[in-house]
Homo-oligomer: A and B are copies of this chain.
Amino acid sequence: MMLAPNAPPTPMSEPLEDYLETIYLLVQEHGFARVKDIAKARGVKAATVSIALRKLSEAELVNYVRREYIGVTKKGEEAARRILTRHRLLTRFFEEVLGMSPHAAGEQACAMEHSLTDEAMDRMVRFFEFLGTCPSVVKAFGQCPAGARPGDEHPCGVSSPECARCSLNPQEASMSIASLKPGQSAIVTQITATGALRQRLLDMGILPETAVDVERSGPGGHPLWIRCQGARLALRRAEASNILVRRAS
């Protein structure tokens, strides 16, 4: 299976990863990124950002000529999305599973996003895939009163009829993204790929419960263009068939 060789990303320092992430987000949100805004977002002085930009530029992660437009390169975009995906995944864990506030969950995710290994990320995604099809688990946890003592009445008996996976029409449930038509939207439910391909798809931001829009879908060997988390991605059909979705409701 011919794949982009999954270039071992040059190890980047945490601050630099943060700058790259910030720049990516600013460009996505406002169409441009200024030194001043980056500095404000990261809580540092402009001078510090200037230096960081030079380093990111040397590493070919951002396109940038002194005093001019700041853009993220192809390579930089990949790295930024990699971090951002980890951020999203961790935030969801702290928010949806542990029940923290969006703000606290985001802060916690920020602190941990740099050190989440590929393996841990993979497992966490599987956990979400599992929870997504058996949501009664998290529900039971959420309803379980915090201070409850053993023996207390509480709703921990979850029954399988609630299990979305079991009660789903298999035809509908196992739809792959490759079977969608241009213009259609869907929600990722599961990534069935394994190994390097799985990691690559995850790094691109394809996580369970992520919205994807199909933009172009050629027949046969043509790639599938999708939008996911604000970015355009091209997938081969062999890759796309490993992404299961449900139609957006």
Which residues of B are found within 8 Å of A16, using beta-carbon distances?
none
Do B117 and A107 touch (CB < 8 A)?
Answer: yes
Which residues of B are found within 8 Å of A100, using beta-carbon distances?
119-120, 123
| Distance in Å: Cβ of A172 to nearest Cβ of chain B | 9
Which residues of B are found within 8 Å of A111, using beta-carbon distances?
112, 115
Question: How many copies of this chain does one complex carry?
Answer: 2
Do A157 and B157 touch (CB < 8 A)?
Answer: no
A144 to B98, CA, bound (A): 21
| Distance in Å: Cβ of A46 to nearest Cβ of chain B | 26
Residues 97-119 of A contacting B (Cβ, < 8 Å): 97-100, 104, 107-108, 111-112, 115-117, 119
Q: Does A23 touch B at the CB level, under 8 Å?
A: no
Which residues of B are found within 8 Å of A64, using beta-carbon distances?
none
Closest to A104 in B: B119
Binds B, one of A32-40, A55-63, A69-77, A145-153: A145-153
A149 to B150, CA, bound (A): 36
| Distance in Å: Cβ of A91 to nearest Cβ of chain B | 12
Do B165 and A151 touch (CB < 8 A)?
Answer: yes
Binds B, one of A3-11, A130-138, A214-222, A225-233: A130-138
Do A127 and B156 touch (CB < 8 A)?
Answer: no
Q: Does A196 touch B at the CB level, under 8 Å?
A: no
Q: Does A183 touch B at the CB level, under 8 Å?
A: no
Chain A contact residue count (CB 8 A cutoff) = 50
Scoring A111, A130, A194 by chain B CB atoms within 10 A of each residue's CB, the highest score goes to: A130
Which residues of B are found within 8 Å of A144, using beta-carbon distances?
130, 134
Which residues of B are found within 8 Å of A189, using beta-carbon distances?
150
The interface of chain A, by Cβ under 8 A from chain B, is 94, 97-100, 104, 107-108, 111-112, 115-117, 119-120, 123-124, 126-127, 130, 133-134, 137, 140-141, 144, 146-147, 149-151, 154, 156-160, 163, 165-166, 168-170, 173-174, 189-190, 192, 194, 244
For the A-B complex with A97-B127, A127-B141, A150-B174 known, give 19 more contacts whose Cβ atoms are closer than 8 Å.
A100-B123, A104-B119, A107-B117, A108-B120, A111-B115, A112-B115, A130-B140, A133-B150, A134-B156, A149-B190, A150-B165, A150-B170, A150-B189, A151-B170, A156-B160, A156-B163, A157-B159, A159-B159, A159-B160
